[in-house]
């Protein structure tokens, strides 16, 4: 058996109010739990909304991707065209030759007893060096002196000499019978006088 004795006088007692400490603690915990649940609920709704927007954006991106690829290709083609136009303008303003007339002059100076297997007329430039105007011919000729005669005729033509300087016989060797394999070459530093 236990006995409780209250030694406080009635005047010294304090009134605790309607709500006890236990109720305050439980209601605080309940309020905190409700706020936490609300925050998680709002975060979940926000995440679902974000995922929905992301899916919608992906679908839109997949739908317009072919058009975007076409636009990118058109932009690349336009850039290439601009570069080509700039190169052509640069070519127009710089020292250059009418290649048709040069090739026509070469054609008129090659004897009928010669067959060209390789012909190059243009500009060559090694890395770090100045560009050269180059004329290079190789092929087969009937007779040993046919190549020498072609070289002489090419050197007599003013257009050919103005383009590449003096044409030189680089090699000539017998192939079979009267057929000779030859190579002619001429180079002149670009930018000089024509």
Domain boundary among 94, 110, 142: 94
Domain boundary among 73, 94, 115: 94
Work out how many domains the chain is built from and give that number: 2
Residue with tokens 């030189």: 168
Q: What is the CATH number of the domain that holds 122?
A: 3.30.1360
Domain boundary among 94, 126, 145: 94
User: Quick check: 147 and 140 in contact, CB under 8 A?
Assistant: no
User: Could you tell me if 109 and 163 lie in one domain?
Assistant: yes
pTM across the whole model: 0.49
pLDDT of 193: 46
- Does the pLDDT at position 62 exceed 50? yes
Tens of pLDDT, residue by residue over 93-150, are 765 667 788 888 888 888 888 998 999 888 887 787 888 888 999 999 998 888 889 9
User: Could you tell me if 141 and 69 lie in one domain?
Assistant: no
User: Could you tell me if 23 and 83 lie in one domain?
Assistant: yes
User: Could you tell me if 40 and 119 lie in one domain?
Assistant: no
User: Could you tell me if 123 and 149 lie in one domain?
Assistant: yes
Q: Which residues, other chains included, contact 97 with Cβ-Cβ below 8 Å and sequence gap of 6+? A: 133, 162, 163, 194
What is the arithmetic mean of pLDDT over 34-51?
A: 94
Higher pLDDT, 113 or 8: 113
Mean pLDDT: which of 53-67, 82-96, 98-112 is highest? 53-67
What is the average pLDDT score of the chain? 85
Partners of 124 in beta bridges: 132
What is the arithmetic mean of pLDDT over 169-182?
A: 89
Residue 168, domain member (yes or no): yes
User: Could you tell me if 87 and 50 lie in one domain?
Assistant: yes
pLDDT of 132: 84
Residue % of the chain over a pLDDT of 90: 41
User: Could you tell me if 86 and 123 lie in one domain?
Assistant: no
User: Could you tell me if 65 and 125 lie in one domain?
Assistant: no
Higher pLDDT, 97 or 76: 76
User: Could you tell me if 82 and 105 lie in one domain?
Assistant: no
pLDDT of 138: 93
pLDDT of 75: 95
3-state secondary structure the chain: CCCCCCCCCCCCCCCCCCCCHHHHHHHHHHHHHHHHHHHHHHHHHHHHHHHHHHHHHHHHHHHHHHHHHHHHHHHHHHHHHHHHHHHHHHHHHCCCCCHHHHHHHHHHHCCCCEEEEEEEEEEECCCCCCCEEEEEEEEEEECCHHHHHHHHHHHHCHHHHHHHCCCEEEEEEEEECCEEEEEEEEEEECCCCC
Residue 194, domain member (yes or no): no
Distant-in-sequence contacts of 170-174, Cβ < 8 A, 24+ apart: 172/144, 172/147, 174/144
Higher pLDDT, 190 or 161: 161
Confidence grade of residue 194 (pLDDT, cut at 50, 70, 90): very low
Domain holding 44, by residue range, is: 18-94
pLDDT of 59: 93
Confidence grade of residue 1 (pLDDT, cut at 50, 70, 90): low
pLDDT of 16: 62
Residue 49, domain member (yes or no): yes
């Amino acid at each position: 058996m236990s006995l409780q004795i209250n030694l406080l006088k009635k005047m010294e007692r304090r009134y605790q109010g309607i709500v006890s400490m236990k109720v305050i603690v439980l209601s605080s915990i309940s309020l905190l739990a409700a706020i936490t649940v609300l925050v998680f609920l709002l975060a979940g709704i926000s995440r679902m909304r974000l995922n929905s927007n992301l899916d919608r954006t992906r679908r839109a991106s997949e739908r317009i991707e072919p058009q975007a690829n076409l636009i990118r290709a058109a932009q690349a083609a336009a850039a290439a065209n601009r570069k080509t136009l700039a190169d052509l303008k640069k070519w127009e303003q710089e020292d250059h030759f009418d290649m048709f007339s040069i090739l026509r002059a070469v054609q008129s100076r090659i004897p009928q007893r010669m067959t060209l297997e390789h012909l190059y007329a243009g500009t060559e430039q090694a890395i770090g060096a100045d560009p050269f105007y180059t004329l290079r011919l190789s092929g087969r000729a009937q007779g040993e002196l046919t190549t020498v005669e072609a070289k002489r005729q090419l050197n007599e033509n003013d257009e050919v000499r103005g383009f590449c300087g003096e044409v030189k016989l680089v090699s000539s060797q017998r192939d079979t019978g009267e057929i000779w394999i030859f190579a002619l070459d001429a180079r002149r530093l670009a930018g000089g006088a024509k």
